[in-house]
Structure 1
Amino acid sequence: MAHVKRFQGIPMSKSLRGLCKEEDYVFLGTSQKTTEETAEGTGALKDDRRDQKEERIRRRLEREEQDKERLREIEESKKEKEQQWRNHVAELTSSQEKTLPDRLARLRRFREFQRKVLVEESGETAEGATTVNQLLTRM
């Protein structure tokens, strides 16, 4: 009958209470000890969960920071490549601007040379000069 006093606070129907015996409640006596241990364990679990959550947050922040750094490096490399391309194009343009007058002068000298050779071959007549000019314009 000691079990009746001990476990009177447990909500049960009267018919169910009559069926239960002290042995049936033994697990409840051990459960008080385990609840104290469980309370300590839950505190540790809560700490573990909190630590895990903080670790996840820290890793997420690190990933975000790494992504930002990677994007910044990509942008910098794009800007650097674009600047290199602009410098390359500017160098090509300036070198072409320098070589074009030289090429033009060489071409004019060559045309004069051609004209002189054709005039000498055809004879130094006025008709020959007009034919030479016609030949040169065709070329």
Structure 2
Amino acid sequence: MTHEKRFSKIPMSKRMRDLCKEEDYAFLNSQRDPDQSSEERHFSESQKTVEERDRRQQERELQRQEKQCEIEEQQKEKEEKWKSHVAEIAVKQEAIHARRHRLREFRDFQKKVLLQDLGPDAGSVDKTINHLLMRL
């Protein structure tokens, strides 16, 4: 085998060589290029770690962006709920104001009718009319 030829110059007993055969295969499989020096291997390993670190950083950035999008969506949803709530309150207030205006018109009409029924002596009867209207 090629690994035996490559490592035949290393002094080692046959028994030791048999014990280390699996390690030899693992070592040979881990090497990409047989002519690659230790510095080149170290550089390729450090490059792998840098790439892994960059990949993890990109994943974290992507997760951060997704979380930011979720937060923005929640804020938009809250704003929409708030706007609809305010619109409901405005509609209710407008209905209350319209009803109050109609009631005032009706009270004025009642007062006018009572004044016409009582006749020309309206000055002394004004307090009585207001009192009657308050009871109604």
TM-score category of the 2 structures, normalised to the smaller one: 0.5 to 0.7
From 59, 70, 80, the counterpart of 1:47: 59
What displacement does 1:109 show? 4.0
Once residues 36 and 62 of structure 2 are traced to their aligned partners in structure 1, the CA distance between those partners, rounded to angstroms, is: 38
Correspondence 1:71 to 2:92 = no
The aligned residue for residue 122 of structure 1 is none
More helix per residue:
1
1:99 corresponds to: 111
In the other structure, the counterpart of 1:123 is none
Identity of aligned residues (%): 6
Q: Which has the higher contact order (CA 8 A, sep 6+)?
A: 2
Written as runs of structure 1 = structure 2, the 5 A alignment for 1:1-139 is: 6=36, 30-109=42-121
Change (3 A) 1:34 1:107: farther
With structure 1 as the length reference, what TM-score do the two structures score? Answer: 0.54
**Aligned positions, number:** 89
Q: Could you tell me the TM-score, scaled by structure 2's length?
A: 0.55
RMSD between superposed Cα atoms in Å: 2.5
> For structure 2, which runs of at least 5 residues remain unmatched after alignment?
1-34, 124-136
In 1, Cα distance between the equivalents of 2:36 and 2:52?
Answer: 25
